[in-house]
């Protein structure tokens, strides 16, 4: 028997999905800024979810400390200081990154709620894959067996969100050795591949889309905009 739709599902707002493959960080960052500005000027525009992988790149949160870098920031790998909260992190192929551009007035104008919802998306994906994900009290992100597999860093202005989450599916984790990831020295970074050998990003993309739609009660509409 098919379960009836919930009131939230019946009234689901559209959310445009920009499903990219490998895109340079600076290009995706520029597009995020453009989408956010458009929604500040016209709050009626629909929400957007960008899914993407990046070539190797390090990013620093707005107030992040350079002491968490283990390389010379002037001469070594690509590094960007961006608007999000949090400390330094690393992106590379094999890591699925999600950038929700949401108007939280349509959902719940509460930053704590939003962070927990993003965690819930990742926890839902892990559950579908048969993994036991968990939160760590006082921290943001998602862990499996003590390894951090999902990181979150956001920026919200006038209740419009940008930046978002990164799920380590099958990345080369060596790049994380050049930093203190998220400023947490005593908790290792991990990947889904450690627990599900051979898993790839393509398998996880559709799960992230489905869980995002469920958690935020939106209707996903694929788009090239």
pLDDT at position 120 over 80: yes
* Residue entry with tokens 């994380």: 176
Contact 97, 52 (CB under 8 A): yes
What contacts 24+ positions apart, CB below 8 Å, involve 118-121?
118/152, 118/154, 118/164, 118/165, 119/150, 119/152, 120/211, 120/215, 121/165, 121/208, 121/211, 121/212, 121/215, 121/216
Give the CA dihedral 178, 182, 186, 189, nearest 10 degrees.
-70
Active site residue 147: no
- Taking CA atoms, 198 is separated from 89, 135, 141, in Å, by 24, 25, 23
Cβ neighbors of 48 (< 8 A, separation 6 or more) are 15, 16, 17, 18, 35, 100, 101, 102, 223
pLDDT at 86: 82
Would the pLDDT of 145 be above 60?
A: yes
Residue 179 has pLDDT above 80, yes or no: no
CA distances from 207 to 4, 84, 165, 202, 212 (A): 22, 25, 14, 9, 8
Which tens digits make up the pLDDT trace of 40-92? Answer: 999 999 999 999 999 999 998 888 777 778 777 666 678 888 899 887 889 99
Does residue 1 carry a pLDDT above 50? no
- Provide the whole-model pTM: 0.91
Q: Which of 15, 92, 170, 182 is catalytic?
A: 182
Residue 182: pLDDT band by 50, 70, 90 thresholds?
A: confident
pLDDT of residue 72: 72
- What average pLDDT score do residues 113-126 get? 98
Superfamily of domain 7-219: Bira Bifunctional Protein; Domain 2 (3.30.930.10)
The answer to whether the CB of 89 falls within 8 A of the CB of 141 is: no
């Amino acid at each position: 028997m098919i379960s009836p739709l919930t009131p939230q599902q019946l009234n689901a707002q559209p959310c445009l999905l920009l499903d990219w493959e490998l895109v340079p960080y600076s290009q995706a960052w520029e597009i995020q800024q453009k989408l956010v500005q458009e929604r500040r000027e016209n709050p009626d525009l629909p929400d957007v979810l960008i899914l993407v992988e990046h070539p190797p790149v390090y990013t620093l949160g707005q107030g992040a400390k350079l002491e968490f870098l283990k390389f010379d920031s002037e001469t070594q790998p690509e590094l960007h200081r961006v608007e999000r909260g949090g400390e330094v992190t690393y992106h590379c192929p094999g890591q699925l990154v999600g950038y929700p551009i949401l108007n939280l007035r349509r959902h719940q104008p509460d930053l704590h709620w939003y962070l927990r919802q993003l965690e819930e998306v990742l926890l839902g994906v892990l559950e579908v894959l048969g993994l036991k994900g968990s939160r760590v009290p006082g921290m943001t992100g998602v862990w499996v067996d003590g390894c951090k597999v999902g990181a979150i860093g956001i920026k919200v202005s006038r209740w419009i969100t940008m930046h978002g989450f990164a799920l380590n599916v099958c990345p080369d984790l060596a790049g994380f050795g050049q930093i203190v990831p998220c400023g947490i020295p005593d908790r290792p970074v991990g990947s889904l591949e450690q627990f599900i050998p051979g898993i790839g990003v393509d398998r996880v993309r559709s799960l992230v889309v489905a869980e995002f739609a469920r958690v935020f009660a939106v209707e996903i509409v694929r788009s090239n905009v």
